[in-house]
């Protein structure tokens, strides 16, 4: 039976992209959100990382444009900052990144502005209704139809239910006896935490759109300063295990001061703070293997963080949600025949494989992570470090290959180009040449 009535659980970015995917062809789409949704771009409880930095990776931006043509222009119109990631002053484990290489556009905004702009576009779509203050508490079925129950006693009937409720999804519990046994879950947690404060003013760093001091397994502290709308800046600090940035202002500033480069602390001193320090520590990578279930029921789809959640520090979640929505749109337009939900979950599993490997390969290297990397994972991480070394010594091809994979624009085999392998051999034999200089605009 075609999915004429679609209920989506969760009105965060993935749920909104799912609504855009389901809209059309006479379908009625209802999005149920636990939070009361504010009309203005302010943080809300259901998005615990809402005050932290967000960038829209290029692959996600392309997917969003396919779902909602003109969405990029919508974001620019409300103040989103567009820049090429090669423009960042980026200090990785090997040195300063190559700022002359090619890379990809990202849009930088506060999370509330991104979400509010997206919600305004989606609610304009024919047949879409978004209802805040509706906490979903149950999911039942009668024949081929599903009933979604909310805490206030309301019930919503659907041909298709999409769970986009995030990390704390209760899909497996709601399905109950329909699933024989527990759902296999993989979790990789390096106990990373970060803290962010919002500022305004001129940081005096020329045309640099931001500064990133990457954390490494040997130096687990790092941070970021990035420009957003309204001439504001977000400055964040990151650490692992017992060395995570604190909530108090004095502790936050002291944390910035001991990073391996002084630029973030100096930038913060040049700006005027306009918020408290906000911390976030729900950073485990968690993958629920719903795609393995032969007993998965028709008419239910799980996506976004409810399916696979990444350490948010890598900025992949929004982009992955948009890409999943494109796959969901094709399946919904095909009528969701029997078995379509499970096939869609298998497609999601293939889609998340690359961002999962990017996020977990790094997190597994931290001593605060209880799991050990696989032999293959260790080889891949060592090769990525070798390409980083080439990049910080001026190899633009290596820089672009790494950027292509990071932005989910190319498969990992892009990192195995013969020219890169040869450059690595030559570098090992003859030396890598001079390293990229520290950007002159950065304060000492």
pLDDT tens-digit profile of 360-384?
988 998 999 999 888 888 888 889 9
Domain with CATH 3.50.50.60 in the chain: 5-51+110-187+285-359
Q: Is the pLDDT of residue 248 over 80?
A: yes
Identify the DSSP state of 114.
H
Q: Is the pLDDT of residue 1 over 60?
A: no
pLDDT of 143: 81
| Mean pLDDT score of the chain | 94
pLDDT of 236: 96
> Would you say domain 189-280 falls under CATH 3.40.1000?
no
pLDDT tens-digit profile of 201-247?
999 999 999 999 998 878 889 999 999 999 999 999 999 999 999 99
pLDDT of 373: 86
Question: Which ranges of 199-262 does DSSP label H, i.e. alpha helix?
Answer: 249-257
pLDDT tens-digit profile of 48-83?
888 898 888 999 999 999 999 999 999 999 999 999
In whole angstroms, give the CA distance from residue 444 to residue 441. 9
Beta strands per DSSP E along 124-255:
128-131, 136-142, 145-150, 155-158, 160-163, 185-188, 192-200, 210-213, 222-227, 232-240
pLDDT of 2: 59
Which overall architecture, per CATH, does domain 5-51+110-187+285-359 show?
A: 3-Layer(bba) Sandwich (3.50)
Domain with CATH 3.30.70 in the chain: 189-280
Assess contact for 51 and 275: CB atoms under 8 A: yes
pLDDT tens-digit profile of 120-161?
999 999 999 999 999 999 999 988 899 999 999 999 999 999
pTM of the model: 0.95
pLDDT tens-digit profile of 301-317?
999 999 999 999 888 99
Q: DSSP per residue over 386-428, as a string?
A: HHHHHHHTT-HHHHHHHHHHHTTSS-GGGGG-HHHHHHHHHHH
In whole angstroms, give the CA distance from residue 136 to residue 133. 10
């Amino acid at each position: 039976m075609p999915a004429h009535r679609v209920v989506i659980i969760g009105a965060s970015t993935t749920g909104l992209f799912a609504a855009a995917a389901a809209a059309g062809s006479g379908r009625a789409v209802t999005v149920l959100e636990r939070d009361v949704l504010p009309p203005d771009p302010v943080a809300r409880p259901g998005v615990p990382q809402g005050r932290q930095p967000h960038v829209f990776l290029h692959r996600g931006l392309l997917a969003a444009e396919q779902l909602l043509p003109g969405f990029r222009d919508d974001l620019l119109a409300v103040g989103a900052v567009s820049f090429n990631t090669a423009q960042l002053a980026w200090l990785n484990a090997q040195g300063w990144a190559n700022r002359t290489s090619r890379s990809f556009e990202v849009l930088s905004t506060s999370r509330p502005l991104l979400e509010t702009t997206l919600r305004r576009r989606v609610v304009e779509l024919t047949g879409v209704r978004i209802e805040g203050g509706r906490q979903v508490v149950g999911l039942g079925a009668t024949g081929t139809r599903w009933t979604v129950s909310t805490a206030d006693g309301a019930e919503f009937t659907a041909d298709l239910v999409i769970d986009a409720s995030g990390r704390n999804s209760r899909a497996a519990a709601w399905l109950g006896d329909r699933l024989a046994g527990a759902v296999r879950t993989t979790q990789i947690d390096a106990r990373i935490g970060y803290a962010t404060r919002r500022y305004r003013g001129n940081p005096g760093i020329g045309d640099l759109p931001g500064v990133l001091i990457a954390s490494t397994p040997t130096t687990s502290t790092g941070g970021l300063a990035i420009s957003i709308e309204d001439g504001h800046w977000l400055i964040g600090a990151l650490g692992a295990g017992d060395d995570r940035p604190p909530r108090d202002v004095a502790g936050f500033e002291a944390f910035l001061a001991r990073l391996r480069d002084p630029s973030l602390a100096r930038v913060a001193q040049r700006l005027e703070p306009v918020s408290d320090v906000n911390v976030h520590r729900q950073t485990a990578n968690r993958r629920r293997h719903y795609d393995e279930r032969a007993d998965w029921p028709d008419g239910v789809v799980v996506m976004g963080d409810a399916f696979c959640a990444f350490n948010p520090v890598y900025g992949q979640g929004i982009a992955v949600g948009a890409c999943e929505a494109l796959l969901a749109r094709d399946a919904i337009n095909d009528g969701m025949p029997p078995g379509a939900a499970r096939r869609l979950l298998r497609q999601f599993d293939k889609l998340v494989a690359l961002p999962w490997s990017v996020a977990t390969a790094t997190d597994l290297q931290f001593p605060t992570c209880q799991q050990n990397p696989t032999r293959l994972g260790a080889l891949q991480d060592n090769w990525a470090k070798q390409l980083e070394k080439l990049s910080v010594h001026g190899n633009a091809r290596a820089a672009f290959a790494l950027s292509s994979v990071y932005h989910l624009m190319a498969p990992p085999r892009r990192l195995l180009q013969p020219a890169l392998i040869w450059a690595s051999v030559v570098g090992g034999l003859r030396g890598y040449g001079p390293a990229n200089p520290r950007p002159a605009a950065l304060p000492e």
